[in-house]
Chain A
Amino acid sequence: DAGITQSPRYKITETGRQVTLMCHQTWSHSYMFWYRQDLGHGLRLIYYSAAADITDKGEVPDGYVVSRSKTENFPLTLESATRSQTSVYFCASSDRDPQPQHFGDGTRLSIL
C-alpha cells in the first residue's frame, strides 16, 4: 500500500557501521512494527510501538534500537551492524483492534 513507505529499499554496509532504516505511514495508525525475514524463519518481530513514545521489544531485539517521536515515523537503527543482521526488514502498521497489519515493501540489507 502506498500509505506505508520504507527507505532505502536496498542497502549495503560494512560490519561495525551504524545504519538506520526508515519507515513512514500516512494513515495515522497507532501501531507500528519492525520484522526481519530470513530464509527458513518466516517473520520475526524485532520491536513494536503502540503509540508515539511507546515502544516494546519483540522476539529478536538485540542489536537494534527504535524510536517513535512522531506517530507516522518509526525508524530502526542497527548501532553496530553485524553479518548476522543481513536480512530483509519489513515495517508494518495497523489501526486499533482488531485490524490487519499493512506492510511496507521492505528493505534488503546486506552487511559485508
Chain B
Amino acid sequence: GENVEQHPSTLSVQEGDSAVIKCTYSDSASNYFPWYKQELGKRPQLIIDIRSNVGEKKDQRIAVTLNKTAKHFSLHITETQPEDSAVYFCAAKRSSASKIIFGSGTRLSIRP
C-alpha cells in the first residue's frame, strides 16, 4: 500500500548549522507534500508544503525540494536555532485520495 519513509528518526545539530530530513514515498500519483512541526505537548503545525509542479520552495530559513523521478523530497533548515527543536513529519497525498500519508517523524535537537 501507500507508504512514506522518513529518515533519520533522530537528528542532533549544532546551533547555526543546517539540518536535512529526507522522505521517500511509494505512490507515484502523489502530488502534494506538506511538512509539519510538532513541539513538545503541542499540535502538529504546517510549516511548508510543495506541490508536484515545482521542484523547490523556500520560506526564510526553511526549504523543501522534490524529486518526482526518485519519489523523494527533503526538508532543509538553515542557521538552526533552539526554537527549531521539535518533531518534524513529512507527508504525501494524491488528489483523488481523502487521506494523507504521514512519515514516522524526525526528532530534531539543536545543541547550544
A7→B89 CA distance, assembly (Å): 24
With A42-B89, A90-B44, A103-B43 known as contacts, the answer to whether A97 contacts B99 (CB < 8 A) is no
**How far does the Cβ of B22 sit from chain A's closest Cβ, in whole Å?**
16
What is the interface residue range for chain B against chain A? 20 to 34
With A43-B89, A98-B32 known as contacts, the answer to whether A48 contacts B46 (CB < 8 A) is no
> Which residues of chain A have C-beta atoms less than 8 A from B42's C-beta?
105
What is the interface residue range for chain A against chain B? 20 to 34
Interface digits, A32-72 against B, CB 8 Å rule (1 contact, 0 not)?
A: 01000000011101001010000010100000000000000
With A90-B44, A106-B43 known as contacts, the answer to whether A98 contacts B93 (CB < 8 A) is yes
Question: Is the pair B43, A58 in contact by a Cβ cutoff of 8 Å?
Answer: no
- B6 to chain A: closest residue by CB: A42
Interface residues of A in 64-112 (CB under 8 A from B): 90, 97-98, 100-106
- B34 to chain A: closest residue by CB: A100
B78 interfacial by beta-carbon distance below 8 Å: no
**How far does the Cβ of B97 sit from chain A's closest Cβ, in whole Å?**
9
Tell me if B's interface is mostly helix, strand, loop or mixed: loop
- A40 to chain B: closest residue by CB: B104
With A43-B102, A45-B99 known as contacts, the answer to whether A97 contacts B32 (CB < 8 A) is yes
Partner of B105, one of A42, A97, A100, A101: A42
Question: Is the pair A56, B98 in contact by a Cβ cutoff of 8 Å?
Answer: yes
Question: Is the pair A97, B89 in contact by a Cβ cutoff of 8 Å?
Answer: no
Interface digits, B90-102 against A, CB 8 Å rule (1 contact, 0 not)?
A: 0001010011101
A103→B100 CA distance, assembly (Å): 13
**How far does the Cβ of A102 sit from chain B's closest Cβ, in whole Å?**
7
B31 interfacial by beta-carbon distance below 8 Å: yes
Instruction: Tell me the A residues contacting B by CB distance below 8 Å.
Output: 31, 33, 41-43, 45, 48, 50, 56, 58, 90, 97-98, 100-106
Sample of 5 further A-B pairs with CB below 8 A, known A41-B104, A103-B45: A42-B89, A42-B105, A45-B99, A58-B99, A103-B43
